[in-house]
């Protein structure tokens, strides 16, 4: 494939009244790497077709369902090369499996699936397929999170002792799901979200980010999951203690009932020599704190002076002092995955199906621990 030829992209989900589909479409185009040429944009055929017409998809590539799309696109000489799956959690497994079995590369929103059994089954499908797989834990695409990972790996912090991750939001502090709001509806329905509510929706982001930056392997966790909003079927507040191999300890708090927090993702890492602090609301700044010395403010422009330079250089597009954020972090994953599709190389920092399986193991262990009076629980054994 020519390095300058756009990758033919399809999409499952992401039609009318969807949120994340538009984010994926923007991210796929920021670096001019993909063309959206086909879609099955809703689980309702009428909505799928109407959504495709709104986006300008050709009539013969605007499909009522993903099964038809997989079959017909695989038969075309100009069929899609990759597909983005941007559906609720319970509709990740089936389309991912269908396209992987047609050797179409898959870009899947997180969490990987709604059940651990499906996650493990999908991992087997990925391993059998000739296609590549990307899980869009987008916060790993922020330049300073790449820089933080490099600092930890370099030994600048020394041996890691303590990790703290927070992800508070306020948007579900009231029973919004009872108002007919689509995003709240499926996220609080265990039949669609899976057994975890807040822990699956945003807790997995915080967990994946701390694992990405530190490289620490989790031994066990102790969780207290709670539901504050009356009648809600899944957790909306999460406190988790973590034990890592080598002796490091961690704490993770995620909440969707925390007034004053729009999207309060935060990561703190403390080692023998230094600490790091990063807040997603100001993603272009990170504090580096050497033991016994003044705190140092690292900026995206200061830590990485030129695009292509430093650990995070690939994610830098614009001059220092011009903020890069959420959409650009998504785009970094899409662009690096384009390189993987074209060359089979360059995906070392991309979240993959193994990260997705671990995410489901994290959710299950947290739920089981909480149900067992916060008993320490080993990931993968619950």
**Domain map of the chain by residue range?**
7-131, 142-317+359-369
As a whole-number percent, the residues of the chain with pLDDT over 70 amount to 96
| Listed residue (355, 377, 354) closest to 365, CA to CA | 377
As a whole-number percent, the residues of the chain with pLDDT over 90 amount to 91
Is the pLDDT score of 202 beyond 70?
A: yes
According to the model, what pLDDT value does residue 322 have? 81
C-alpha angle 34/89/261, rounded to 5°? 90
Q: What is the CA radius of gyration of the chain?
A: 21
**What average pLDDT does the structure give for the chain?**
94
Residue 313's pLDDT band, with cuts at 50, 70 and 90, is low
| Buried residues in 236-262 as b, exposed as e (16+ CB within 10 A) | bbbbbbbbbeeebebebbbbbbbeebe
Q: What is the pLDDT of residues 64-82, one digit of tens each?
A: 999 999 999 999 999 999 9
> pTM here?
0.94
What is the mean pLDDT of the segment spanning 333-339?
97
Q: Name residues whose C-beta falls within 8 Å of residue 69's C-beta, 6 or more positions apart in sequence.
A: 10, 12, 38, 39, 40, 63
Q: In the numeric block, which tokens belong to residue 242? A: 């973590």
Is the pLDDT score of 307 beyond 90?
A: no
**Residues facing 324 on adjacent strands:** none
Is the pLDDT score of 311 beyond 60?
A: no
Tell me the CATH number for domain 142-317+359-369: 3.30.360.10
DSSP alpha helix (H) spans, the chain: 20-30, 45-55, 66-75, 93-100, 116-128, 143-154, 182-187, 190-193, 198, 204-214, 300-303, 326-343, 353-371
According to the model, what pLDDT value does residue 309 have? 46
| Buried residues in 207-234 as b, exposed as e (16+ CB within 10 A) | bbbbbbbbebebebbbbebebebeebeb
Q: What's 7-131's CATH class?
A: alpha beta
According to the model, what pLDDT value does residue 39 have? 98
Distance from C-alpha of 99 to C-alpha of 214, rounded to nearest angstrom: 33
Q: What is the pLDDT of residues 80-130, one digit of tens each?
A: 999 999 999 999 999 999 999 999 999 999 999 999 999 999 999 999 999
DSSP 314: G
According to the model, what pLDDT value does residue 1 have? 41
């Amino acid at each position: 494939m020519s390095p300058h030829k756009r990758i033919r992209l399809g999409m499952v989900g992401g039609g009318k009244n969807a949120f994340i589909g538009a984010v994926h479409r923007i991210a796929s185009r920021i670096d001019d790497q993909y063309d959206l040429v086909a879609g099955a944009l809703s689980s309702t055929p009428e909505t799928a077709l109407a959504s495709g017409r709104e986006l300008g998809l050709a009539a013969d590539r605007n499909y009522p369902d993903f099964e038809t799309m997989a079959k017909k696109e695989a038969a075309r000489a100009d069929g899609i090369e990759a597909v983005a799956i941007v559906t609720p959690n319970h509709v990740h497994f089936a389309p991912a499996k269908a396209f992987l079995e047609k050797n179409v590369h898959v870009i899947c929103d997180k969490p990987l699936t709604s059940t651990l059994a499906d996650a493990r089954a999908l991992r087997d499908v990925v391993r059998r397929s000739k296609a590549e797989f990307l899980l869009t834990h987008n916060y790993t695409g922020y330049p300073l999170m790449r820089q933080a990972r490099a600092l930890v790996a370099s030994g600048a912090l020394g041996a890691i002792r303590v990790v703290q991750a927070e992800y508070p939001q306020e948007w579900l502090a009231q029973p919004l799901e009872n108002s007919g709001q689509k995003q709240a509806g499926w996220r609080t329905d265990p039949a669609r979200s899976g057994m975890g509510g807040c822990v699956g929706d945003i807790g997995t982001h915080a967990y994946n980010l701390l694992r990405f930056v530190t490289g620490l392997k989790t031994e066990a966790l102790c969780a207290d999951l709670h539901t504050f909003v009356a009648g809600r079927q899944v957790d909306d507040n999460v406190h988790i203690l973590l034990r890592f191999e080598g002796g490091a300890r961690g704490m993770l708090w995620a909440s969707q009932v925390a007034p004053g927090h729009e999207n309060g993702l935060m990561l703190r890492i403390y080692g023998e020599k230094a600490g790091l602090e990063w807040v997603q609301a100001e993603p272009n700044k990170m504090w580096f704190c050497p033991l016994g010395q003044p705190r140092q403010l690292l900026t995206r422009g200061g830590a990485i002076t030129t695009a292509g330079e430093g650990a995070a250089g690939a994610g830098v597009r614009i001059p220092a002092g011009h903020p890069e954020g959420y959409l650009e972090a998504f785009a970094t994953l899409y662009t690096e995955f384009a390189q993987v599709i074209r060359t089979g190389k360059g995906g070392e920092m991309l979240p993959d199906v193994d990260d997705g399986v671990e995410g489901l193991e994290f959710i299950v262990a947290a739920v089981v621990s909480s149900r067992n009076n916060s008993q320490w629980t080993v990931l993968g054994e619950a």
